[in-house]
A and B are shown apart, each in its own frame.
Chain A
Amino acid sequence: MQTTRRALLPWFVAALVPLGCAAAVAAVAGVDGPAAAGPVPAWALLLIGAALTVPAATGLVILRARPGNRVGWIMLAGPVPVTVAWLLEALGVRLADAGGHDGAAALATTLGMSLWPFLYLWPTALAFVFPTGRPMSPRWRAVLAATVAAAAVVIAGMNVAGDVAEIGDLTLPNPLYVEAGGARDALAVVFWTAWSVLLAGLVAALTSVVVRYRRARGVERLQLKWFVWGAALIPLALALCGVSGLVVRERTVLDAMVVVTVLGGGAALSVAVGIAVTRHGLYEIDRLVNRTLVYTLVTALLAAGFGVVAMAVGVLAGRGSGWATAAATLSVAVAFRPLRARVQRLVDRRIARDRYEGLRRMAAFEDALRGGDAEPEDVQAALAEALADPGAELLLRLPESGGFVDVRGRPWEGPREGRTVTPVHLRGEEVGRLVHAERLRERPDTLRSVLAAAALPIELARLRAEVRVQLAQVEASRERLVRAGDEERRRLERDLHDGAQQRLVGLGVALRRIQRTLPREARVLVPALDQAVGEVGRAITDLRTIAAGLRPPRLDDGLAAALGDLARAAPVPVAVDVDVGDDGLAPPVEVAAYYAVCEALTNAAKHARASRVDVWAHRRDGTLLVRVRDDGVGGARPGAGSGLTGIADRVGAHGGRMRIDSGPGAGTLVEVEIPCAS
C-alpha cells in the first residue's frame, strides 16, 4: 500500500499540470466582457499548458528510470506553482467577468501574479543542484537557501504591495494590500533588497553551473553539457526573436513568437535535462551544440544580410519596391551554402577545437602518406597526436584470420586497465580497433571523425600486416624445413657412425684376433683374413665418406677447418681466408655457408674451368659474409637445375641472401650474407 502510494505520487503531481491548465482554459472560456482583455487569452493558456506539461512529463520519465532522483522531483514539482499561478489568474478573470465576486477575483489575480517568480525559480534551483541533486558544497547550499528566501520575500511583497489588481480593463482593489504608512519606505528597501538577492541568485546559479562544468569529468560533464545546451536555447531563442523583429513588424505575431520561444525553450531545457539524466550516452551533445551554434549564427547573419540588402536596394530603387525583397532574398539564397561552410569551420575552430585540430592532423598525415614521407603504420602515431592521447594504441584486424595485431604485427593481448576500445569501420567492415584513454568518450564526435579520417590508412596498414604475417609464416616454414632436413642428415650420420661403422670395426677386430691366435698349421688362412680385414677397412672408409656427404663432420671443428678440408679436396688450387671469431657460429649458419662454398667450388671446377679460387669468409656486425671468386669463364647463372639455386634457398631460409656476379670471361663471384647475431 505504502509502496503503491509512493509510486503513484509522481503521477498525481504530473497530472496536476495539464489538469490545472485545462481548468484555467475552461475558466476563461466564454468570457467576453472587459475582463477578457486580461493577460491570459485562451490560446496562450493552451500553449502554456503544453509547455508546462513537458518538464512535468520529463520529471516523470526521470523518476521512473531513476526512482528518488532529486532532479526528477524538481522537474516534476517545478511547473506546479506556475500552473497554480496561471489557474489563479484565469479564475480571477472568470470571477471578475461573472461580477459580484470582486474581492475573490482581485485576491486570485494578486496571488496568481505573485507566483510568477517560480517560472525562473525552479530552473534556478535546478542549476544549483544539477546533475547530482545536491549543491556543490555547503557554501553553495547557503547561496541557494538565500535565493529561495529572497524569492519568498519578493512573492510576499508582491501580494501586499499593490493596492489594486488589474484584470483586463477592470481595476479592482487588492484585499491583501497593506498600508504600511511610515514603515513603507523600510518595507520597500526590504523588497528591493530581496529582489537584488533574487537576481544575484540567478547569476550565482549560472556561476554554479560553470564551476561545476569545469570540475566535472566523464558522465557528469556530458550531463552538464546537455543542461547548458538546453538552458542556452532560451536566450538564443530570444535573441533570434529580436533579430526577427527587424524583419517582421507585426506586433501580435512578435508577441506570440516571444511566448512560444520562451516556453518552447523551457520545454527544450526539460528534454535536455531528461536526456542528460537518463540517456546521456545515446546522443552526441557536442554535435548538437555545434549544429545549434552554426545554424543560429547562419540565421542571424542571413537575417542581417537580408536587412542590409533590402535597405540598400530600397534606397536605390525606392521604398516598398518589389526589387528590394527579391534582391535580398536572392542574396540570402546565394550566400547560404558558402556562409554555412565558413561558419561551420569557424565554430569548429572555436568550439570543437580538438576535432578541428585532430582532422587537420589526419589530413596532414594523409598528405605525408601520399607523398611517401610516412608509412601506413605511422597512422598510430598520427592518431595519438590527433586525439592528444599519447598512449593510443591501434590494433589491425587481419583480413584472413580476423585476429588482431598491433602496428608492428605482434598479436594483441587485450587492453590495459583504464583503456577503452573503439572499433574502426570502413565500408561496414571492421578494419581495426583503437585502444584509447577513457576520457575520449566524452568527445564521441571528435573520436568518430578522426577515426573516419584514419580508416583508409588503417586499411592499408592492416593489409600490409597481413602480408607480413603470411610472409613470416612462409619464412618460418622454410627455415623449419631446412632445419628438419639438417636434423635428419645429422641423425643419419650418427646412425652410420655409431651403428654400422662401430660394428664393422668390431668385426674387423674380431677377425684380427682370430688371425693372431691361429695355430701354426692354419697359417694358410692369414692372407685370406688380411683380405677380409682389408675389405672391412674399405667398407668403413666408404661409410665415412657417405656420412661426411650427409653432414660434413669437420664442421664440428668449425667453419675454418671444414672449408680447409673442402679446399684440400678441390681439384683446383684454392686459397682460404676464414675469420669468424672464436665463439663459433650457430650450426645452421655454418652448414649453410659450408654448402654455399661447396657448391661454388663445384661450379668453379666443373663449369668455369678456373685455375684458381679464393674463398673468403668473415664475420662482421652480426653478419657472416662469404665470397668465393674464381678466374674462370664466368657466365654462371642461378637458374633451372643449378645447384646455386638450392644454395640461395638454403641461405634465404636463414634470413640471408646470395648474389652472383659472373660476366662472360670475367670469372665468377658468389657472395653470401647470413645473419649470425649471437
Chain B
Amino acid sequence: MRIVIAEDTVLLREGLAGLLEDAGHEVVARVGDAPSLVAAVQEHEPDLAVVDVRMPPTHGDEGMVAAAEIRERYPGTAVLVLSQHIETRHAVRLVAAGGGFGYLLKDRVLDVDDFLDAAARVAAGGTALDPEVVATLVAPPTREDSLAPLTPREREVLALMAEGRTNAGIARRLWLTEKTVETHVRAILGKLGLPVSDEDHRRVLAVLAFLRAAA
C-alpha cells in the first residue's frame, strides 16, 4: 500500500519508512510537520498516513488535529497516530468514530510484526487502539459492575477486541484456536447485550462504543 509518514525526528522517520518499505509498502512522502502532512495527503491520496502527535512548531497535539482533518476530508486515507504518551481525550473518540483510524504508543513500533499488522488493519478500514488506552477503558475503578459478568479470559479477549484485533489476531495472541476465540466473543457480546456480527470491525466498534458509554 501507499503510505505518507509525518514525523519530525529524522532517525525515527527514516527507520519507520525503512520498516514499511522492507514489508513491501510504498512510502510516497516523508514530512516533518502538520501542514506538509495535509498537503502530502492531498497530493498523493495515500492508503495510510502514519502521524506523530507532537510536531513543530508548537509540539502540542497538531498531529492529532491533522489526523482528524484528514479523516474528515480524505476518507480514502486511513490514519495511524503514534504518540509519546497516552492521551485518550481525542484518541478513543476518533477510533470509535468509525474504521480507518489507529492510535498507538510510539514504542509499539519496536514490536514490528504487531505494528505492521495494525497498520494493515487500519488501512483496510479497521481500528488499532493501544493496550494502555484500552486498559483505561476496561479497568477504570468505578466500572467494576458493567463488566462484572465476564470471566477473566473473556476480559482478556474483550481488551484485545478493543485494541482492534481480528479473531485471528486474538487467537494468535492468546495461543488459542480461532474457534475458541469465536466462542468467547459470542459469549462476551451476549453478556454485554451487544449485537452479534460476523464482521470484525463492526464488533470492535460496538465494543468500543460500549466501553466509552460505560466510562
Contacts and interface: CB of A to CB of B under 8 A. Distances in A.
Interface stretch (A166-174, A181-189, A399-407, A549-557): A549-557
Contact of A561 (B9, B59, B88): B88
B136 interface: yes
A537 to B, nearest CB: 5
A207 B16 CA distance: 106
Contact of A567 (B12, B88, B141): B141
Contacts of B18: 509, 513
Contact of A506 (B9, B22, B136): B9
Nearest to B52: A502
Contacts of B89: 556-558, 561
Interface stretch (B105-113, B160-168, B180-188): B105-113
Given A553-B85, A561-B88, A507 B11 contact: yes
B11 A553 contact: no
Interface in A527-556: 533, 536-537, 540-541, 544, 547-548, 553-554, 556
B9 A508 contact: no
Interface in A491-538: 494, 497-498, 501-510, 512-513, 516-517, 533, 536-537
Interface in A550-576: 553-554, 556-558, 561, 564-565, 567-568, 573-576
Nearest to A613: B141
Interface residues of A, number: 40
Nearest to B56: A498
Contact of A513 (B9, B19, B61): B19
A564 B136 contact: yes
A577 interface: yes
A544 B83 CA distance: 12
Given A494-B59, A564-B136, A502 B110 contact: no
State which size class the interface on B falls in. Answer: 20 to 34
17 contacts: A497-B54, A502-B106, A503-B9, A506-B15, A509-B16, A509-B109, A512-B109, A517-B22, A533-B110, A536-B110, A537-B110, A553-B85, A554-B86, A554-B87, A558-B89, A561-B88, A576-B141
B86 A512 contact: no
A565 B140 CA distance: 8
Interface in B81-110: 84-89, 106-107, 109-110
A513 B15 contact: yes
A508 B15 CA distance: 9
B141 A557 contact: no
Given A502-B12, A508-B109, A568 B139 contact: yes
A508 B106 CA distance: 11
Interface string A301-313: 0000000000000
Given A506-B11, A507-B11, A540-B107, 12 more contacts: A497-B54, A509-B18, A512-B110, A512-B112, A516-B112, A544-B85, A554-B86, A556-B87, A557-B87, A557-B89, A568-B139, A576-B142
